[in-house]
Amino acid sequence: MRVAPDHARWFQRFLAYVGPGYMVAVGYMDPGNWATDLQGGAQFGYTLLSVIMISNLMAILLQALAARLGIVTGRDLAQACRDHFPPAVTLMLWLTCEIAIIACDLAEVIGTAVALQLLFHIPLLFGALISAFDALIVLFLMNRGFRYLEAFIIALLTIIAFCFSVQLVAAAPPFGAMMAGFLPRPEIVTNPAMLYIAIGIIGATVMPHNLYLHSSIVQTRAYPRTEPGKREALRWATLDSTIALMLALFINAAILIVSAAAFHNTGHQDVAEIEDAYRLLSPILGMGIASTLFAVALLAAGTNSTVTGTLAGQIVMEGFLHLTLPHWARRLITRGLAILPVVVVTALYGDHGVGTLLIFSQVVLSLQLPFAVIPLVMFVADRRKMGSFTVPPAMKALSWSVAGIILMLNFKLLYDTIMS
Best CA proximity match to 37, nearest among 48, 28, 27? 48
- The whole-number pLDDT of residue 348 equals 65
d(CA 40, CA 124): 24
Q: Where are the alpha helices (DSSP H) in 75-191?
A: 77-84, 87-120, 124-130, 135-144, 146-171, 175-180, 187-190
What CA–CA distance (Å, rounded) separates 33 from 358?
9
For residue 298, which of 135, 124, 132, 117 has the smallest C-alpha distance?
Answer: 117
- Report if residue 382 sits inside a domain: yes
| Per-residue pLDDT, 200 | 74
Output the domain CATH number for residue 302: 1.10.4160
Is residue 171 a part of any domain in this protein? yes
Residue 11 lies in a domain: no
Q: Determine the pLDDT at residue 63.
A: 93
Q: State the pTM of this model.
A: 0.85
Q: Which residues contact 300 (CB under 8 A, 6 or more apart)?
A: 156, 157, 159, 160, 163
Residue 96: CA count within 13 A, CB half-sphere: 21
372 burial via Cβ count (<10 Å: 0-12, 13-18, 19+): buried
Please indicate, yes or no, if residue 275 is contained in any of the structural domains.
yes
> If residue 51 lies in a helix (H) or strand (E), which one and from where to where?
helix 49-73
Question: So what's the pLDDT on residue 85?
Answer: 94
pLDDT score at 86: 94
Q: DSSP secondary structure string, 109-127?
A: HHHHHHHHHHHH---HHHH
227: enclosing H helix or E strand: helix 227-262
**In terms of residues, how long is the chain?**
420
Note down the domain range covering 292.
31-419
> Computed from CA positions of residues 161, 167, 172, 178, in that sequence, does the dihedral angle turn out positive or negative?
negative
Extract the residue ranges of the chain whose pLDDT is less than 70. 1-8, 134-136, 138-139, 203-205, 272, 324-332, 334-339, 341-343, 345-355, 358-359, 362, 410, 413-420
Which pLDDT belongs to residue 106?
77
pLDDT at 292: 92
Question: Has residue 105 been placed in a domain?
Answer: yes
* Residue 38 confidence (pLDDT): 87
Whether 169 is covered by a domain: the verdict is yes
Task: Decide if 5 is inside a domain.
Answer: no
Please indicate, yes or no, if residue 15 is contained in any of the structural domains: no
Q: Is 325 helix (H, G, I), strand (E, B) or coil?
A: coil
* CA separation for the pair 41, 271 (Å, rounded): 9
Domain count, the chain: 1
- State the pLDDT at residue 403: 85
pLDDT for 382 equals 93
